[in-house]
Amino acid sequence: MNVNTIFKRKSDEEMSEDGIETGNRKLIPIISRHGGGLDENDYINCKMKGWCAKITEGKTKLEVANI
């Protein structure tokens, strides 16, 4: 599967909207060769622990909002 994504730090506003437990980074798929991709303004929440180079994938922004 070929996917181009952007991995970036969440803004303070996004952190307060999503909650600290959802993570401190976001993964934004730009181009997905196979699959439906995500809706506009949606992203995958990620928790990054830089001191041990560990990234954990979480739910998308819309999945968190629907809970």
Nearest CA to 44 among 55, 33, 35? 55
Task: Kindly report the pTM of this predicted structure.
Answer: 0.81
Low-confidence ranges of the chain (pLDDT < 70): 1-3
Residue 8 has what pLDDT?
Answer: 94
**Distance of alpha carbon 55 from alpha carbon 7, whole angstroms:** 11
Rounded CA-CA distance 58/27 in Å is 10
- The confidence score (pLDDT) of residue 2 equals 60
pLDDT in tens, 31-48: 777 777 788 889 999 999
